[in-house]
């Protein structure tokens, strides 16, 4: 969660500079960044995202509609994104939608005062990876600047939909592949949570 405090654009610009310096798989500089720090625009985007997921949840229950939705997502996003949507995103979104409509919480934006979307040409090689790498460069710089972030994979999944594309002013030849919410953290970590890799091996 984030404090009700805007992030100065001077700081946002520093964070964007870090994203600009990120490496890409092809060496081309094709990544674009969209920043939303207007509360009304953030609220509009959040509502549109929830509407899209509500529609998806409804139509995925219909076998015929499910077939066409899967084909469209697979064509634009690929098999990996399709599996993520069906196996990970939608089960959680069922509850997120309910809490949002009940006025309890917005689990997509989590009260963030700023949002960054990273986009790239659809047919650019390594485009999704390039955007994710740029996003993590931004996350690391944000940490240095005292800004909290959260890598958000819920928004890019539906940015290909017309109403959201229109709000973002995103051209048809580009796709959003990564997004991060950011702001001043409402809660501070007391200690680093314990995390370990599943496996580490040195080959002889």
- Assigned domain for 86 exists: yes
Asked if residue 200 belongs to a domain, the reply is: no
User: Residue 195: its pLDDT value, please?
Assistant: 87
Within a domain: residue 104? yes
pLDDT at 194: 85
What stretches in the chain show pLDDT beneath 50? Answer: none
Distance CA 129, CA 153 (A): 13
Helices and strands, counts by H and E, the chain: 7, 4
pLDDT (tens digit per residue) in 138-157: 999 999 999 999 998 889 98
The CATH number of the domain where 92 resides is what? 3.40.109.10
Q: What's the pTM value of the predicted model, to 2 decimals?
A: 0.86
- pLDDT value at position 168? 96
Name the one residue in this structure whose structure tokens are 């634009």. Answer: 76
Domain count, the chain: 1
């Amino acid at each position: 969660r984030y404090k009700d405090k805007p992030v100065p654009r001077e700081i946002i610009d520093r964070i964007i500079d870090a994203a600009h310096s990120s490496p890409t798989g092809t060496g081309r500089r094709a990544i674009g960044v969209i920043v939303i720090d207007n509360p009304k625009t953030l609220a509009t985007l959040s509502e549109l995202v929830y509407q899209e997921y509500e529609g998806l949840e409804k139509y995925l229950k219909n076998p015929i509609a499910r077939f066409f939705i899967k084909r469209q997502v697979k064509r634009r996003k690929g098999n990996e994104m399709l599996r993520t949507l069906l196996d990970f995103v939608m089960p959680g979104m069922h509850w997120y939608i309910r809490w949002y409509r009940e006025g309890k919480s917005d689990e997509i934006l989590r009260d963030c005062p700023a949002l960054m979307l990273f986009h790239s040409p659809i047919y650019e090689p390594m485009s999704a990876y390039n955007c994710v790498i740029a996003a993590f460069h931004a996350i690391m710089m944000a940490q240095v600047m005292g800004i909290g972030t959260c890598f958000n994979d819920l928004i890019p999944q539906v940015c290909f939909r017309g109403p959201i594309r229109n709000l973002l002013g995103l051209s048809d030849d580009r796709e959003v592949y990564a997004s991060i919410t950011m702001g001043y953290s409402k809660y501070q970590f007391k200690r680093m949570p314990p995390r370990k890799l599943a496996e580490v091996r040195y080959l002889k």
